[in-house]
Structure 1
C-alpha cells in the first residue's frame, strides 16, 4: 500500500509539473515583452491587450506547482504574480495644468461598428450633449443618420465617409477648420477647433487592429499618431478614438510619453474595459481612449453602453486651461 501510494503521489506530482510549466512559460514570454517595452510579434500583442487576465493562468500554475511540490515552479509563479501586479498599476502620472480655467469641454468617442449603432449614438449625443463627438466606422448610412439627427445641433463637421470600417466623422459645437489628418488604412481626419478664441487641435484615432500575423500596419499607424502628438508644439490637443491598443502595448505608451494624459485614467477608470462589449466590463480591454495635452484637466469620465456596437463609448468632461501668466 505504501509503495502504491508513493507511485500515485509521484504521478500526481509529475502531472502537476507538466501542466504548470507550459502555463508559466507562456505567461513569462508575455511579461518579458512587457518588461522589455516591446510588443514583439503575434501572439504577444494580442495577449498584452488582456494582461491583467494573465493572473488566472499564473495562479493556476502556482496551485499546480504547489500540488506537485515543485518548489522552483512555486517561486517562478510568485515572481510572475509580482511582475503582473506591478504592470497592472496605471501607466502615466496625474498632472494638473498651471493656467486658469478657460472653458468646459465635453468629449464623446464611439466606434459604431460599421454604422450599426449610429441611431443609438445619436440618442446618446442628444442626452449627454457633448461638445465634440469622434465617430469611428461610420459609413454612408451612419453619416446620413448623424446629419439628419444631429446636423442642427452640430453644424461643424469634418468627415471622411467610406464603406465598412473605414469611415470616420468628427462633429463639433465649436467652429472647425479642417487640418491634415493622419494617414492610415482607416480614415483618421483632423481639425482645429476655436474654443473661446483658443485653437485646439483635434485628431481622430483609428489605427488598424493588431491582426494575427499582420501587426505591421498597427505599429506604423500608432507610430504616426505618436509623431503627430510629439510635433504638436504648444497647441492644445485632443486625440480620441479607437486605438486598438491598451496601456500594456508599447506602441500606445510611446504616444503617452509625448506628454499626453489618458482621460479615463485621470478620471479614475484606468482599467475599465471598453471592448468587446459582449464580455465587458467583467472581461475585456480598454482600447478606446481620449488623450489630452497638459492644457486640459479631467473632471469626470465614464463609459456608455450603446446597442449595436462591440465597443463602449467614452464620455469625458474636461476643462481647458489658459496659459499661465
Structure 2
C-alpha cells in the first residue's frame, strides 16, 4: 500500500512539474485537441454561416414565390396549359408558404430575416449588430437574384409561348412575374403608402410573434405565424402594388430581368419606382411599424424606446469598461 502511495505522489510531482507555466498548459491543451473543422469548406462555412443561411432562405423564397406567380399566370395561356392552374389566392398562399418554409430553413442559424427592411428594423429596435447588416443585406439580394434566375430557367419555354417568341420580353407580359409593378390607376403617393402600410403590418406581426412577454408562440411555430401574417397582408393589401415589402425580393429579380432581356424599362418604370416604393417604402414602413409596436406594447430593454435614461458614472467610462 505504501509503495502504491509513493508511485501516486511521484506521478503527481511529474505531472505538476511537466507544466511549468500557464502558457505551456494552454499550448499542450491545444495540441491534444483534434481539428476544429473536418475540412476546409467546413472552416469557411463556419465563418460565413449566417449570410449563407440568409442567401439560401432568400433563394428558396423567390423560387417558391415567383414560381407560384409563373404557374398561375402562364397557365392562363392555352399554348402553355389546357386550363388555368390557380388563382390570385394561389399566389398569396404560395408566397406565404414560401416565406414560412424559408424561415424554417434559415431561422435557426441567422434568424431568418430574408429581408433588408427586417434586418434594418431589428438593428434599430432589437440590438441586432449593425456590423452584420451589410453581409445580411448582400446575401439576401444575391439569394433573391439567384432564385429569380432559377425560376426563369424553369419556365423559360412557357414564357416564350406566353410572350409570343423567344426574343420577346415585356414587363406587362411576364416581367411583372418577377419584380413588382403598381397598378396603372395608382398615384405615386398611393404606391408608397401601400408598401409602407403593408411593411408596417408585417414587422408588427414579426415583433409580436417573437415577443416573449406577449402571446408569443413556441419558437418552432414562429414561421407559421409569420406565414399567416404574410398571407393576410397579401389578401388585403397586395393588389395595388404587388406587396414587395422586401427590397431584396424586388431588386434582385429586377436586376435579373434587366439582364434577361426586359431592358432598362424595369428601372425606368414610373420614374425609378423600384427605389422609392419597394425599397424606401418598405424600409420606412418597417421602421415606423417597429416604432409603433415598441411605443405601445414592447417592454424589453433591448429596444431604443426602453433604454434607461440613467447616465453611467464618469469613472466607469474612464476605466475603459464602457467598451465591454
* Fold agreement, TM-score > 0.5: no
Q: Which has the higher strand share?
A: 1
Q: Does 1 or 2 have the higher relative contact order (CA < 8 Å, sep 6+)?
A: 2
Name the TM-score, length of structure 1 as normaliser: 0.27
More helix by share: 2
TM-score by length of 2: 0.27
